[in-house]
Structure formats: structure tokens, C-alpha cells
Amino acid sequence: MINFKEQIAKSIEKVINVSYLELMQYIETPKDIKNGDYAFPCFRLAKNLKKAPQKIANDIKEKIEIDDKVIEKVEIAGGYLNFYINKELMIEEVLKEIENKEEYGKSVIGNGKNIVIDYSAPNIAKPFHIGHLRSTVIGGALYNIYKYLGYNVTGINHLGDYGTQFGKLIEGYKLWGNEYNIDENPIEELTKIYIRINNLCKEDENVLNACRDNFKKLEDKDPYCVELWEKFRTVSLKEFQKVYDLLGSNFDSWNGEAFYSDKMQEVMDILDKTGKLVESQGAKIIDLEEVGISTPCIIQKSNGSTTYATRDLAAILYRARNYDFDKALYVVSYEQNLHFRQIFEVAKLLGIDKKYTDGLKHVQFGMVSLPSGKMSTREGNIVKLEELLNESISRAKQIIEEKNPDLENKEDVAKKVGVGAVIFNDLSNSRIKDEIFDWNQMLNFQGETGPYIQYTYVRTNSILEKVELPKVEDVDITKLIDEASEKIIKLIYNFNDILIQVTEKEEPSILSRYLIDLAKAFSSFYNENKIITDDKQVQDARVYLTYATSKVLKTGAELLGIKMPNKM
């Protein structure tokens, strides 16, 4: 398929002697098709060229050489150059690509590049609550999209299965284990123990010290502590899998913090040899003042136990050696911003190639809180993710019973719609935005939602079931030269570019908003045009455009982790 953006950039390059690769990054797609198919903002060059944007636009327009078979015209609007692509050529390119490519928008730009994505990472023996939803679905969408673009992707569920919290659980189990039925209702019972032991720790310093000692014993492979830890981990993973099954989440590695327990001494030894690992109040730290981080990175606590930082550094070392990553993404809330600034800086002391430390990236996202404030397992104020998903499925089923009681596979459709609503709600806003949890907002099926995209897809299917799909060579593309059709064509043409933008910004909401735009464009097209009509040429053209829309809606939604029903 012709890359129009690249052709425009190469034409401008010849005039102003700036690399077309840089120019391509500046080219925009106007929201209003009246402003052309592509716009070049000349103010981006004003500083370097020492000219006013309007003057740059005039100079480029006067000197640029364009192929009028590709670009119909170039117009100046303020400091912008607007490019209008030959409509018939764009339609022809899109329809041919749709016919020839089973997986439209797929590419090989990532071939030979390795991406590691660390996401989800719930804490063992604690409830899988809505706070974990964001990491799980943002990471899952990025995983799917990177893979679709040809990258070799490794998805890692870096489980929180180590740390002082287990010292607390072990102490709580020692004290009250016989009062709780962990085998029957593991997470709930372990949470009760955790809340109870936390309260006792607040009252009694000796109990808190005993908890810390338990974790040290766990690190030293004390048989009793290890046996209990393994039990807590096994029952927790069994419960977590229920949520992952509902969300359709998959991981290539479940190596959590505990996996690095025998790999941390090497980190300590390497850091020790740099002379940067120093003692402070009995603990071992790396001072980061010289790089503008006032809080030191604690590598070993005063009682000899390790920290999150030690384990994350061991993970960076392991992943560099085993995955040879070009990028390692950490999909974790912005609350952990300081932690990642610290470990990314300390990682530069591990003696690994600069390629790896340059590839480390914290993909931060906003917090989900309750109207009453921040969620906390130890305080017992959380919303369980499994309950949210089941409630959403239940509401979807209720709507189906009211509107289409004879629908086949009601359970399956309700699951796809209910889970799709939750996933899309999370991915439709910028990931950095904070959210106050609201049942009605989270389970909203009206407006610009996941179910709206699913409904539009079902509508395209309904049309396609009634007719035979024409061959692309039989489609008269002149029958699609109208504003409603052109808007769809332009959106479909840009699909691959949208996926690339997602990976450049690590922002799945770019794809979510795109799918809403495509669904709305099709709804306008559907309302303005009769698709099944007596005019065979018109019908063939509109049916093929419907097919193209259907294909992209399904592909895009599935990349976000949303499954599409055939009927609703």
C-alpha cells in the first residue's frame, strides 16, 4: 500500500533539506476532511529556518514537486500546508489491501526487535482488585499490538510473591491459622489474616519485628516458612486464574519477585565492586544525589533482608541476558515513579550494555480510587475485580433478556459484552488519568463504549449475511466518492499508522478513540446510504466498504483484548 505520508515527507525534504523521517513525525491527520488528508505544520521548522511559518509554507508550496496522480492539490492555511490525496487512488489502495491481507494493518516493522512487557503483577495472598485492572489491560493491549507489528514480545507477570508481607502472613497463620479455612476460600481468608496481623503490628512492635524475622527466615530457606509461602502462592494463583480467564489474559512468564531470590547476591556483589554501595544506619544504599534524586536507593535493609529494588535490579540483569530486549516496559502506576527512577539509574552500575538501560521505560498510569479514598487491602476497603466483571456480565445478560430474549448463545454474548465494557472503559481514556470508581460509569453500555463498537460490528455482520461479497476488481470505486464513504476510507487507511502511534506513546487509548471514530463514521454512512439496493454497482461498492469496516473493527477491538460477538 502506498505510504502517502512518506511521499509527502520526501517531497518536502527536497525543498528544505530536513530528513524525511523527521518530517514524517510532524505530519498530522486533520480531524476535518475539508482541511485535507494530511497537514504539515510549518511552525515546527520556524526556529531552525529562522522564518515565519506562513513564509515557510509559501516557499515549500512554490518549490515542491508533486505527482498529481497521487496528490490532487496543496493548500496553505495559516502556517499549515494541507495535502489532498487523489480520492480514487486512496480508495483503490485500501480495498486492494483489505482483499490481499488476511490480517489488515499487520506489519513487520518490529522484526528483529525484542520487547519485554512487565504487567498485571498482583500480590499473592491479596485480593485481585480493580486497582490491578489497569496494569493488566494496558499491558495486555500493548502486548497484542507490539506482536501485531512484528516485534518479538515477552509478557511477564512479575508477581508480588515475596517481601515483608509474607513475614506478616506467616506470623498471622502461626497465631490463628486454625481459625480460617484457607483451602475453601483462600484469598478472602488470607486477607482476613493479613488485616488482623497488620492491626496487631500497629499495637505491638514485637509482633512487627517477628514478622520481619519471618521474611528473613523465608529468604534463608527455613522449611516451615517456605512450605507456608508455597501454599499461599499456589492457592492464590488458582484464584487469580479465574480473573485472567474472564479477561482473556495470557503471559509468557510468571516469574515473580521470589524467582530472583537466588540472583540478588550477584547484584550486591556487582554494586559493591563499583564502590557506590555504602552503609547507612545499618542498611546498604546507593546515594543518587549526584543525578538529582534526593532519596537513596535501599539495596539491603538493616536486618539483612532484600528490597523491591534489589529484586527489580536482579530482574533487569536476568532479562537483559535472557531476552536481549530493545525495550523493557514496566506497566505500573505513577505512585511508583520514584522507585523506577531509582532502579533505572542504579541499573547503569550493573555493567550491562547501554542499549538495555536506555530501553528501560516506566509506562505509568493513573490510580483507581474509591469515592471514600485510596483502596487498601490492609484496611479492607477494595472492590474485587472478579465481582466487577461478573456484575458487568450479569447486567449485559439482563439487557439481552429485555431486548433480544431469543438470542442464541446468550451466556457467551453477555460475557463478551460485559467484559468488553469494562476493558474499553479502562482503555478509552489517557492511561495517566486518575479514576474515581463508579459502578455505573464502569458498567456503562451507552454512548462511546465497548458495547457501541460491538454493536456496530454486529450491524456490519448483519448486512454481510444478506448479500454475497463482491470481488474487489468488480467494485466501482467512483461509487464511494462521497463524504461519508471517504471518511471511512481515510480512517481504514490510517489503521496501521494508529497502531504505530500506540507503540510510540505506549498509549492504547489512541486505538480506543480510533475505533469509536470508525464506528461513528460507519453509523453516519449507514444512516445516509441504503447499502442493499437495486443498483448493483452501488450495492457492491457499499457492501465492500461495510466488509472493510467490519474487518478493522474486529481486528482493532481484539488487539485491545475485547472479543466481538457475531450477534447481540
Residues in Cβ contact with 402 at an 8 Å cutoff, skipping those fewer than 6 apart? none
Residues 360 and 335 both lie in one domain: yes
For the chain, residues with pLDDT lower than 50 are none
Residues 286 and 167 both lie in one domain: yes
CA distances from 131 to 334, 375, 381, 544 (A): 12, 8, 12, 42
Check residue 129 and give its pLDDT: 83
Nearest-angstrom CA–CA distance, 277 and 300: 10
CATH number of the domain enclosing 56: 3.30.1360.70
Residues 347 and 406 both lie in one domain: no
Domain boundary among the residues 308, 343, 369 is at 369
Residues 268 and 365 both lie in one domain: yes
Check residue 381 and give its pLDDT: 62
Residues 430 and 358 both lie in one domain: no
Locate 354 and state its grid cell: 547501554
Report if residue 376 sits inside a domain.
no
Report if residue 248 sits inside a domain.
yes
Nearest-angstrom CA–CA distance, 324 and 116: 9
Nearest-angstrom CA–CA distance, 38 and 10: 14
Contact between 568 and 417 under an 8 Å Cβ cutoff? The reply is yes
Report if residue 467 sits inside a domain.
yes
Beta strand 297-300 with 327-333 is unpaired
Report if residue 203 sits inside a domain.
yes
Residues 176 and 221 both lie in one domain: yes
CATH number of the domain enclosing 194: 3.40.50.620
Q: Give the distance between the most distant pair of CA atoms in the chain.
A: 85
Residues 159 and 244 both lie in one domain: yes
Domain boundary among the residues 337, 369, 401 is at 369
Task: Report the domain count for the chain.
Answer: 3
CATH number of the domain enclosing 459: 1.10.730.10
Beta strand 297-300 with 283-286 is antiparallel
Residues 220 and 362 both lie in one domain: yes
Report if residue 380 sits inside a domain.
no
Nearest-angstrom CA–CA distance, 506 and 92: 31
Domain boundary among the residues 320, 337, 369 is at 369
Structural domain of residue 58, as residue ranges? 4-85
Residues 518 and 391 both lie in one domain: yes
Report if residue 284 sits inside a domain.
yes
Following DSSP, what letter does each residue of 422-451 receive, concatenated? HHHHHHSS-TT--EE--HHHHT--SSSSHH
Residues 414 and 499 both lie in one domain: yes
Check residue 185 and give its pLDDT: 85
Residue type, 211: C
CA distances from 380 to 198, 212, 357, 384 (A): 11, 22, 38, 11
Residue where the block lists cell 503471559? 251
Helical axes 385-403 vs 410-427, angle rounded to 10°: 120
Report if residue 107 sits inside a domain.
no
Locate 441 and state its grid cell: 460509569
Locate 64 and state its grid cell: 515542491
Report if residue 172 sits inside a domain.
yes
Residues 448 and 495 both lie in one domain: yes
Residues 409 and 549 both lie in one domain: yes
